[in-house]
Amino acid sequence: MQEQQLKKQSLEKQKSNVLLEVEGLKTYFYMDNDRVAKAVDDVSFSINKGETLALVGESGSGKSITSLSIMRLIPSPPGKIVEGSIKLEGKELVTLSDKEIRKVRGNDIGMIFQEPMTSLNPVFTIGNQISESLMKHKKMKKNEAYKKAVDLLKLVGFARAEQIVNEYPHQLSGGMRQRAMIAIAMSCDPKLLIADEPTTALDVTIQAQILDLMVEMKEKFESSILLITHDLGVVAEVADRVLVMYGGQIVEEASVYELFTKPKHPYTNGLLASIPNLEADVERLESIPGTVPPAHRFPKGCRFAPRCKHVMDKCYEANPDLLEIDSKHKVRCYLYEE
Amino acid sequence: MHKYIIRRILQFIPMLFLITVLVFGLAKAAPGDPLTGEMLDPEIDPAVYEIRREALGLNDPIYVQYWNWLSSVSQGDFGKSMQYTGRSVMELIQARVWNTFYLSLFALGVTLAIAIPIGIYSANRKYSLFDYGATTFAFLGLATPNFFAGLLAIYVFALTLGWFPAQGTTTALGLSGFELFIDKLRHLVLPGLTLGLASTAAYMRYMRTEILEVKGSDFIRTAHAKGLSNESVLYKHTLRNALIPIITLLGLEFGTLLSGAIITERVFNYPGLGTLFLNAISNRDYPVIMAINLILAVSILVGNLLADIFYAIVDPRIRYD
């Protein structure tokens, strides 16, 4: 009796700790020739408060479309969220009206993008672009918003914040622009920061600084991060938990430690094996043969089967389910069935 | 910026020199001279024309003639018309230049007022019925020659419907104040629309293309990700960027309008520089040809300079120093 109650309590506690819950999300693109690209096909996951969740996969695996679906920024037409639910602190986002979702964007969820060079509007000052969100969501007056913009710029590490606020994007370097993007994303104190390949376009030395800054901001604002990347080095550095995506689906879900020490899915194994190792003396770098199939032409059965080392006959017949190995580790592979 | 502008204006001098040399040479290369037309009269002794030619300096070598023209122009004297005997070129131009200016301004105003809103609307509803309609209109507008559009406008709106006058700048003498203004405006409508037709069509397409291009930019996605409304994304973030090339083109448009006015004015018998220019060409009235050409050349050069200055004003990435 007592035990059950405790269990229930802990379950509720767990539930209240969940920030974002994605359930059975399907985002399809309807192409001209009646083909349907299943860019995101039945994806479920959740992000806890204060957690950094990494979404990993090759180009075309559906990770960016997943993040854009959460923001409801899928270009429509041709894209559409066909099924599923996305709940932010229990509030359903999929069915919100356009007006309502705009109150979530930039306010509850901040987003930064891959290309800091083109993600800022070239004809407006940095201050103008930061204060825009503040004026919209926090109903600040213009001068108030500019003052806040200076504070935010200081927070993301600009020494000359007072000058930067009046400068244009082209006057800043790539790393500085990404800092400015982070200032915009964090301006309204969001609950979730979505970072879509935030360091891919940056210098290696700047990459670490930007990652550190994101973690610092996350802690300061008590928010969570959804980090989209194909760089497992970045994952190891900042993530708490990892989702590996392939062909629009999650193929493995585990904590960072688990994933790097006990990877299960042959795809994850392949990804980890292709990281260059300084100590090992190898002639050639490991690679996974083949490419990600296009989203309108997934093979029957397991989507990774044509590239898999351990492929079995049944892999070609039906797509395996996401199998729960233990409470914190899931994998979509027949190798781990009883 | 100031230094840049001064440098550019200094560059005008050699360019204008080359243009005038070229135009003078071409005008002289055309057969005949201002007196050829009058020589058909058998009553007059050809020797008389020889005397007049000598007096006008038409018998001098071409470089002497050019030098004479250049030295008087550099002193601000554009000479006398050879066709309207005794009247100074300045006087002839002053009587007409404002008519052409108003016509061009009207055409420019119409172009902007129609092309920009339609371009934006078209881009926002890409491949809609409206968009296809606008595209069809744009291609028709671009494909229709100025003189044909003018004749069509006269036939439909002046002769058949009788809405607007077909020619001239005013109906009657003796009008004044507001009535005169309205009357002049009514006379501007048909030639103005005709003159602006091709540019309207072109700018409509530019605007549509630019908006669509900017809409696909990363920073527009950023603007949406901030939660801004569609209107503020369109009118602030998209439009401001889409207008950059348009504003630059506008500087160049002025020269295009002035030269377009030449044909349009003829069709509508509108007393502007264009009519004067065509008459001057057919009568080999060299001083008038040269003066109007100079005006066209200067306005195109100034238009180019303005385009570059506008560019620096609207796009913070462009700096001249």
- Give the distance from residue B244's alpha carbon to the nearest chain A alpha carbon, in angstroms: 10
- CB-nearest partner of B226 from A106, A118, A123: A106
- CB-nearest partner of A113 from B221, B237, B240: B221
- CB-nearest partner of A132 from B221, B226, B317: B226
Disruptive mutation site among A112, A113, A123 for chain B (greatest number of B CBs within 10 Å): A123
Q: Is A103 on the interface with B (CB under 8 A)?
A: yes
What is the pLDDT, as a whole number, of residue A7? 64
Distance CA B242, CA A74 (A): 23
Cβ within 8 Å, pair B219-A168: no
Residues of A in contact with B217 (CB under 8 A): 118
Query: Could you give all domains of chain B from N- to C-terminal order, each with its CATH number?
Result: 97-282 (1.10.3720.10)
Query: In chain B, which among 180-219 make CB contacts under 8 A with chain A?
Result: 217-219
- Total length of chain B: 321
- CB-nearest partner of B227 from A102, A113, A118: A102
Q: Which residues contact A9 (CB under 8 A, 6 or more apart)?
A: none
Cβ within 8 Å, pair A118-B217: yes
Query: In chain A, which among 135-194 make CB contacts under 8 A with chain B?
Result: 136-137, 168, 170, 181, 184
Contacts A–B by Cβ distance under 8 A: 71
Distance CA A140, CA A80 (A): 34
> Please, what is the angle between helix B239-267 and helix B273-282, to 10°?
50
pLDDT at A282 over 80: no
Cβ within 8 Å, pair A119-B241: no
What is the pLDDT, as a whole number, of residue B30? 82
Give per-residue pLDDT as tens, B230-263. Answer: 888 988 999 999 988 888 888 888 778 887 888 8
Disruptive mutation site among B126, B215, B226, B247 for chain A (greatest number of A CBs within 10 Å): B226
Amino acid (one-letter) located at A213: L
Query: How many percent of chain A have pLDDT more than 70?
Result: 95
Tokens of A118: 């083109």
pLDDT at A300 over 70: yes
> Please, what is the angle between helix B146-153 and helix B177-215, to 10°?
130
Give per-residue pLDDT as tens, B83-98. Answer: 776 788 888 888 888 8
- Give the distance from residue B198's alpha carbon to the nearest chain A alpha carbon, in angstroms: 30
Higher per-residue confidence, B39 vs A308: A308
What is the pLDDT, as a whole number, of residue A2? 64
- CB-nearest partner of A137 from B227, B314, B316: B227
Give per-residue pLDDT as tens, A148-207. Answer: 999 999 888 888 989 999 999 999 988 889 889 988 988 888 999 999 988 887 788 888
Under the banding of pLDDT at 50, 70 and 90, the label for residue B210 is: very high
- CB-nearest partner of A111 from B225, B228, B230: B225
Q: How many other C-beta atoms lie within 10 A of the C-beta of residue B81?
A: 24
Under the banding of pLDDT at 50, 70 and 90, the label for residue A289 is: confident
Q: Residue B71 to residues B54, B65, B78, B79, B255: CA-CA distances in angstroms?
A: 19, 10, 10, 11, 26
- Give the distance from residue A106's alpha carbon to the nearest chain B alpha carbon, in angstroms: 4
- How confident is the prediction for chain A on average, in pLDDT? 86
Cβ within 8 Å, pair A119-B221: yes
pLDDT at A218 over 60: yes
- CB-nearest partner of A123 from B226, B227, B316: B316
Under the banding of pLDDT at 50, 70 and 90, the label for residue B204 is: very high
Under the banding of pLDDT at 50, 70 and 90, the label for residue A211 is: confident
Give per-residue pLDDT as tens, A104-150. Answer: 998 999 999 888 889 999 999 999 999 999 998 988 899 999 999 99
Burial of A205 (0-12, 13-18, 19+ CB in 10 A): exposed
Q: Which of B143, B190, B201 is nearest to B166 (CA)?
A: B190
Does residue A164 contact residue A172 with C-beta atoms inside 8 Å?
Answer: yes
- Return the HEC string of chain B: CHHHHHHHHHHHHHHHHHHHHHHHHHHHHCCCCCCCCHHHCCCCCHHHHHHHHHHHCCCCCHHHHHHHHHHHHHCCCCCECCCCCCCEHHHHHHHHHHHHHHHHHHHHHHHHHHHHHHHHHHHHCCCCHHHHHHHHHHHHHHHCCHHHHHHHHHHHHHHHCCCCCCCCCCCCCCCCHHHHHHHHHHHHHHHHHHHHHHHHHHHHHHHHHHHHHHHCCHHHHHHHHCCCCHHHHHHHHHHHHHHHHHHHHHHHHHHHHHHHHHHHHHHCCCCCHHHHHHHHHHCCCHHHHHHHHHHHHHHHHHHHHHHHHHHHHHCCCCCCC
pLDDT at B39 over 70: no
pLDDT at A243 over 90: yes
Tokens of B230: 């569609």
- What is the pTM assigned to this prediction? 0.80
Distance CA A296, CA A214 (A): 35
- How confident is the prediction for chain B on average, in pLDDT? 85
What is the pLDDT, as a whole number, of residue A9? 63
What is the pLDDT, as a whole number, of residue A242? 93
Cβ within 8 Å, pair B316-A120: no
What is the pLDDT, as a whole number, of residue A14? 60
Give per-residue pLDDT as tens, B107-146. Answer: 999 999 999 999 999 988 888 899 999 999 999 988 988 8
Under the banding of pLDDT at 50, 70 and 90, the label for residue A310 is: confident
Amino acid (one-letter) located at A82: V
Under the banding of pLDDT at 50, 70 and 90, the label for residue A8 is: low
Q: Is B239 on the interface with A (CB under 8 A)?
A: no
Does residue A155 contact residue A183 with C-beta atoms inside 8 Å?
Answer: yes
pLDDT at A1 over 90: no
Residues of A in contact with B223 (CB under 8 A): 121, 132
Residue A57 phi/psi, 5-degree rounding, is 170, 165
Q: Is A107 on the interface with B (CB under 8 A)?
A: yes
Give the long-range contacts of residues B3-6, CB within 8 A, separation 24 or more: B3/B321, B4/B320, B4/B321, B5/B305, B5/B309
Higher per-residue confidence, A54 vs A36: A54
Residues of B in contact with A137 (CB under 8 A): 227
Residue ranges covered by each domain of chain A: 17-108+190-336
**By CA distance, what is A111's nearest residue in B?**
B225
pLDDT at B176 over 80: no
What is the pLDDT, as a whole number, of residue A241? 93
Q: Is B221 on the interface with A (CB under 8 A)?
A: yes
- Give the distance from residue A287's alpha carbon to the nearest chain B alpha carbon, in angstroms: 32
Q: Is B223 on the interface with A (CB under 8 A)?
A: yes
Query: How many percent of chain B have pLDDT more than 70?
Result: 96
- CB-nearest partner of A113 from B222, B227, B240: B222
Cβ within 8 Å, pair B219-A104: no
pLDDT at A10 over 80: no
- CATH numeric code, A17-108+190-336: 3.40.50.300
Q: Which of A187, A107, A126, A119 is nearest to A155 (CA)?
A: A187
Q: Which of A182, A218, A219 is nearest to A202 (CA)?
A: A182
Disruptive mutation site among B126, B128, B212, B219 for chain A (greatest number of A CBs within 10 Å): B219
Tokens of B8: 């550019």
What is the pLDDT, as a whole number, of residue B61? 84
Q: Which of A275, A179, A193, A192 is nearest to A235 (CA)?
A: A275
Under the banding of pLDDT at 50, 70 and 90, the label for residue B189 is: confident
What is the pLDDT, as a whole number, of residue A168? 93
What is the pLDDT, as a whole number, of residue B55? 77
pLDDT at A20 over 70: yes
Q: Residue B137 to residues A252, B131, B202, B212, B243: CA-CA distances in angstroms?
A: 56, 10, 10, 19, 22
Cβ within 8 Å, pair B317-A168: yes
What is the pLDDT, as a whole number, of residue A338? 65
Cis check: omega of the bond before A77, within 30 degrees of 0:
yes
Cβ within 8 Å, pair A105-B240: no
Residue A84 phi/psi, 5-degree rounding, is 105, 175
pLDDT at B80 over 90: no
